[in-house]
A and B are shown apart, each in its own frame.
Chain A
Amino acid sequence: MANAEKHWLVRPQTITLLWRLFIAILVATVIAERVVHLHPHFGFDGWFGFHAWYGFLTCAAMIFFAKGLGLLIKRPDTYYGDQQ
């Protein structure tokens, strides 16, 4: 489909722009820790950028776990016969 026909939000230029904006915001939220005073409960949650990398790594772990479990428990959606 030609660019002109595509909705402006899904044109490649817009998507590149959105990615750049997103990364800028990500960086900003981490750098802001220098300005905002954190009050950690446990100690480790005061490490620099803790919530950023903890969020990313646990999500990656959940996706991998789901993928692995999927190998075991995924079935075609006609498995029980009465679906859809």
Chain B
Amino acid sequence: MIVHPALILVLGALVLPWLPQRGARQAASLALPLAALWAIWQVPDGSAWQLHFLDYTLSPLAGDKLTRLFATIFALMAATGALFALRQESRVEVPAALFYAGSAIGVAFAGDLITVFIFWELMAIASTLVIWSAGSRAAYLASMRYLSIHLLGGVALMAGIAGHVATTGSVAFTPITPDSLASWLILAGFLINAGAPPLSAWLPDAYPEASWSGTVFLSAFTTKTAVYVLLRGFPGTEILIWIGMFMIFYGIVYALLENDMRRILAYSIVNQVGFMVVGIGIGTEMALNGAAAHAFAHIIYKALLLMSAGSVLYRTGRRKCTDLGGLFQSMPVTAVCGIIGALAISSFPWTSGFVSKSMISQAAGDEHLQYVWLGLAAASAGVFLHAGIKFPWFVFFQKDSGLRPADPPASMQIPMIFFSALCIGLGLFPAPLYALLPFAVNYAPYSGAHVLTQLQLLLFSGLAFFVMLSFLKRTLTISLDLDWFYRMFAPRLATLLTPLFKAVIGGLERTAASVAQRAGKSLHHHHGPQGALARTWPTGSMALWTVVMLLAWLALYYLP
């Protein structure tokens, strides 16, 4: 019997909060993801579990290379995140995060759409708890908005799956062509979790409201699970190229305008997932490998960036760039780790981002997609601009805020150093990562031309940043997004329309009451004590009418 890795985390997370000692809870929070990581590598190729549900055969545990790649990084992320969160006071957050990670692994191993859906919804609930456990009112409100959007996405996905199963008769999770309402609904459900337009705003709205450790977990699972299901379900769907391209530039522009350090990084999640979505849209083996590799690398460097930001928040309690600056002097480890993450997200040569993202550009070039290639090149420069330099510059350098917080405790430094080492290690030695990819890799990232052109692109982007620094001055502002419609417009409309609704409902109530009264009166008139229909009839008249009826029948009977 093969153990399901997702169940180790999901069931373990349910027991975790009830362990009596803090030490036991901490030990279990580290042991559970490591046990899951071990179990992931015990799952053979093909369907290992079969389950009968209604008329369908589910395969909740099906392994292949793509599954193992994603499940491995999810488990690794959960373990490293749990170490980072060792000092988290909330008793809810870490168990919820492990449940969340387990559900993401469950999606990765799902061989059928019903299992995908079940773990998909469990993810939504667990991640809401992670946000909610930050404890502030802002976090509570953000978590409820987050949940609403994900439940909406879940409804679209469920409707799509039901329609798909009804037409094809199969629950198997295989590539889907978007040619029917049902398949479009499935695609929409997946894309909502990827942070695609028009509903991208849930991500930068909710993630920065979680605790210093909560955001680290959140950055990894929901969007990358969406990338995974898109990779499996919709490879080569052309519209994804354009959706991804929009996400890339949306992330850059909004991050440039943003003042909250963790919201900058949240926008850049949308940006980075955009690169993966473009790769999935291109759909060649090179592009799909690139998207998968980039998801793997992204989870590591984005978590690293958010751990660095989380450490700053943990020590200073501040999150706005306008309040920060000059922290490199007293937080050197956090600053260096943050810079390594920033270089990796910018695909700087000798970091993990360079060996993964360049496969997507290469695929665009191989397919002669000129505009896509130009867009990706501009976006690579833009990533350095909005995250690669902006984040470390405004948090650790710029003006001196006068704050002198110390580096965080060892339990927070060790995971940062570990992920920094992975960012550089994968950049220098990409072979182990390439070996995990779904298709055979025929690509050498380190050619003189590639390193040189990438350096040109990034360094001149850096020049643009410093030359135009006055344009990037931070202000105490947020940027409106389409969430304005449900955060401002709809409530205002409701307030505005309430008197009208009240008047209409009042009118209807009065009309209904008068109709009912009249009906009552007429009933009383006909059936009341004095009513014509309520009188008792004499037996004689009854006999008379019977005789009349019988005579009529007799007459009719003898008619020809």
Contact = CB atoms under 8 A, between A and B. Distances in A.
Contact of B456 (A30, A37, A39, A84): A30
Given A62-B382, A83-B138, A69 B253 contact: yes
Interface in A44-60: 45, 49-56, 58-60
A55 B464 CA distance: 8
Residue in A29, A30, A65 with the greatest tally of chain B CB atoms within 10 Å: A29
A22 B138 CA distance: 42
Given A41-B373, A63-B472, A51 B453 contact: yes
A67 interface: yes
A25 B458 CA distance: 12
B252 A62 contact: yes
A50 to B, nearest CB: 8
A58 B252 CA distance: 12
A22 B249 CA distance: 27
A70 B459 contact: no
B393 interface: no
Contacts of A2: none
A41 B377 CA distance: 13
B329 interface: yes
Contact of B259 (A26, A54, A77, A80): A77
A36 B461 contact: no
A54 B464 contact: no
B460 A56 contact: yes
A28 to B, nearest CB: 9
A16 to B, nearest CB: 13
Interface stretch (B10-18, B226-234, B352-360, B474-482): B474-482
A7 B256 CA distance: 28
Say which size band chain B's interface belongs to.
35 or more
A32 interface: yes
B456 A73 contact: no
Contacts of A54: 377-378, 381, 457
B459 A59 contact: no
Nearest to B455: A29
B476 A32 contact: no
Given A26-B460, A51-B377, A66-B257, A73 B480 contact: yes
A75 B477 contact: yes
Interface string B254-277: 001101100000000000000000
Contact of B373 (A29, A39, A42): A42
Contacts of B320: 77
Given A66-B257, A77-B259, A82-B138, A58 B382 contact: yes
Nearest to B454: A51
Contacts of A65: 253
A74 B461 contact: no
Nearest to A32: B452
Contact of B461 (A45, A56, A64, A77): A56
B464 A49 contact: no
A77 B205 CA distance: 12
Given A7-B329, A77-B477, A26 B459 contact: yes
Residue in A51, A60, A70, A77 with the greatest tally of chain B CB atoms within 10 Å: A51
Contacts of A75: 477-480
A62 B462 CA distance: 13
A84 B138 contact: yes
A17 interface: no
B53 interface: no
B256 A63 contact: yes
Interface string B125-166: 000000000000110010000000000000000000000000
A29 B141 contact: no
A37 B448 contact: yes
B487 interface: yes
A79 B478 contact: yes
Interface string A6-41: 010110000000000010011001101100111101
B257 A25 contact: no
Interface in B529-556: none
B256 A55 contact: no
A82 B456 contact: no
Contacts of A59: 381-382, 385, 460-461, 464-465
Given A33-B452, A42-B370, A80 B488 contact: yes
17 contacts: A29-B455, A39-B447, A42-B365, A45-B453, A52-B457, A52-B459, A53-B460, A55-B377, A55-B460, A56-B460, A59-B385, A59-B464, A59-B465, A63-B468, A66-B257, A75-B477, A80-B478
Closest 9 CB pairs of A and B: A59-B464, A58-B378, A41-B365, A51-B456, A66-B256, A55-B457, A55-B460, A55-B381, A56-B460
Interface of A: 7, 9-10, 22, 25-26, 29-30, 32-33, 36-39, 41-42, 45, 49-56, 58-60, 62-67, 69-70, 73-77, 79-80, 82-84
Interface of B: 137-138, 141, 249, 252-253, 256-257, 259-260, 319-320, 326, 328-329, 365-366, 368, 370, 373, 377-378, 381-382, 385, 397, 400, 447-449, 452-465, 468, 471-472, 475-481, 487-488
Given A39-B447, A58-B382, A84-B138, 6 more contacts: A33-B452, A41-B373, A42-B368, A52-B457, A77-B259, A79-B478
